[in-house]
Chains A and B, each alone.
Chain A
Amino acid sequence: MTATLMQRAVLRVGEGQILVQPATKPMVELSAVAVRYGQELALMDATMSIARGEFIAIVGPSGCGKSTLMKLVTGLLPPDSGTIVVDGNTVRGPIKGVGMAFQNSALLPWRTTIDNVILPLEIVQPFKKQLRGQPARRARAQQLLDAVGLGKFENHYPWQLSGGMQQRASVCRAIVHDPKLVMLDEPFAALDAFTKEDLCALMQDLWLRRKFTAILVTHDLREAVFLADCVYVMSGRPGCICYRRPIDLPRPRTMEMTFEQVYVDHVHALREKISQVRGG
């Protein structure tokens, strides 16, 4: 039963590919994915396709399974039905080398800022096996810290940094190993409005330079429209992707643009959709 369902789903997506995107394979592909926690259906029929180097955002009311979706894509949570394909391979367990950043920075308090950023380089290949590894890794981490304005804080411990700086370090740790896929789970949610703006701009810079594929989960519609190529709206209980809105604003986007009519229209449209799913 499950097998036939899965086969059908794969077939369907296969046809879609040929019609829409004949050239490049998508980076992440979910087809008819469902998850239950006990009796409750947490996520229903999630189907989406994220192109290589695309920045997408997922918005929705709290408890709608946004974080579940992230765990699915990284293979931390197996789906009950449906298939997830990342970079051409079906996901069957935790996939390696993904970058992650969360609302709390989750830095290691016993490591200095730079040692925290080095952590993925000690675990992920090819950096792990590099000859004369430590100096090379250090240089790489330092370069990234310089780029995010933490160049002079490399020897500070996390608790000596402000919340915004901790979050910068956390973002550095998420992308230092050049991951193909970066997961951002409300990374700026706990920051004040100004710091948040700074970090959004910084995130865009980093993405424009490195072109990783990114999935951002957020409550903040302005942030989602600012950063993403495409925003998905999820409805709650059972979670399902109910609306997809491409954001065709030119890059690099600036904070001034957030006050322009096109930008505001995007935010309004998303807002309306969310009120609908919350109300219904």
Chain B
Amino acid sequence: MRKRLMRHARPWLVAIGILLIWEIGCRVASVPSFVLPRPIQVMAAMFEFREALLSNSLHTLFTTMIGFAIAVAVGILLGAAVGTSTAVYEAIYPTLIAFNAIPKVALVPVIVIWCGIGTLPAIITAATLAFFPIVVNVATGLATVEPELRDVLRSLGATRYESLSKVGIPRSLPYLFASLKIAVTLAFIGSVIAETVAANSGIGFLMMSAASNFEVPLVFAGLIVLAIMSVIIYLLCSALERRTTGWAFRGQLVS
């Protein structure tokens, strides 16, 4: 009982500890609030601008989730193609890696030229940033099916569909969920990047306008809201992961 309580308390203690050190450090070194606001000032800003923060963060959440959904769909399809066919792998993998190496910040202005300012560039940036780890992981999960298992299925006379549905897909699910946890945070990064450059709503936009008004506590408030949203979505993904692929963890705790 005590142990369980400790386990649940630990992450909170760490977070609170960091905030405390931050608060005390700022007070001791008397850092001005336009350089680094103290947590209490940030919280005050959060309260003061709660309506703006709420509407803008919901907007960011919305664009991120749409971008993430696109990334998941594209990622699974591409990953399945790359993972099941060596020809596809050889043909498109170099291009994929090259595309992934492009800094997406550099792409945002181009996307703006194509789609204008607003929600669409944010969705596209989120999707382009998030799909790559999904492709790689799904492909890995499918490509690393044990050769013995492949032989078993082939000598039983399994069709392509059967071996995919009975072995390929269940086997790659843990890989998929591991990548979803990475991809969702990348999607947040993508949408916020696009919002800071080319949007008139969203957390990224809010932070940029706050920064240009030297409302530094509000900038940090935006960061913290963003962090909280990422953690919540991450936890949702890992809860889903545990429900569907508990076998891969042999009953151990993961998140």
Contacts and interface: CB of A to CB of B under 8 A. Distances in A.
B247 A157 contact: yes
Interface stretch (B114-122, B149-157, B231-239): B149-157
B40 interface: no
A88 B245 CA distance: 44
Contacts of B245: 110
B51 interface: no
Nearest to A102: B148
A100 B162 CA distance: 18
Contacts of A97: 155-157
Contacts of B173: 110
A104 interface: yes
Given A94-B157, A122-B166, A123-B162, A110 B248 contact: yes
B90 interface: no
B248 A109 contact: yes
Contacts of A94: 154-155, 157
A124 B157 CA distance: 7
A236 B140 CA distance: 35
B23 to A, nearest CB: 47
A76 B151 contact: yes
A-side binding surface: helix, strand, loop or mixed? loop
A74 interface: yes
A58 to B, nearest CB: 17
Contacts of B170: 108, 110
Interface residues of A, number: 27
A243 interface: no
B-side binding surface: helix, strand, loop or mixed? helix
Contacts of A123: 153, 156-158, 162, 166
A56 B151 CA distance: 21
A163 to B, nearest CB: 15
A74 B146 CA distance: 18
B250 interface: yes
Contact of B156 (A71, A102, A110, A124): A124
B211 interface: no
A135 to B, nearest CB: 19
B144 to A, nearest CB: 13
Contacts of A173: 152
A157 to B, nearest CB: 6
B158 A76 contact: no
Interface in B190-239: none
Interface of B: 146, 148-149, 151-158, 162, 166-167, 170-171, 173, 245, 247-248, 250
Q: Which 4 A-B pairs have the closest CB atoms?
A: A96-B157, A98-B155, A106-B148, A110-B247
27 contacts: A74-B151, A76-B154, A76-B155, A94-B154, A94-B157, A96-B156, A97-B157, A100-B152, A100-B155, A102-B148, A106-B146, A106-B152, A108-B149, A108-B166, A108-B171, A109-B247, A109-B248, A110-B171, A110-B245, A119-B156, A120-B156, A122-B162, A123-B153, A123-B157, A123-B158, A123-B166, A173-B152
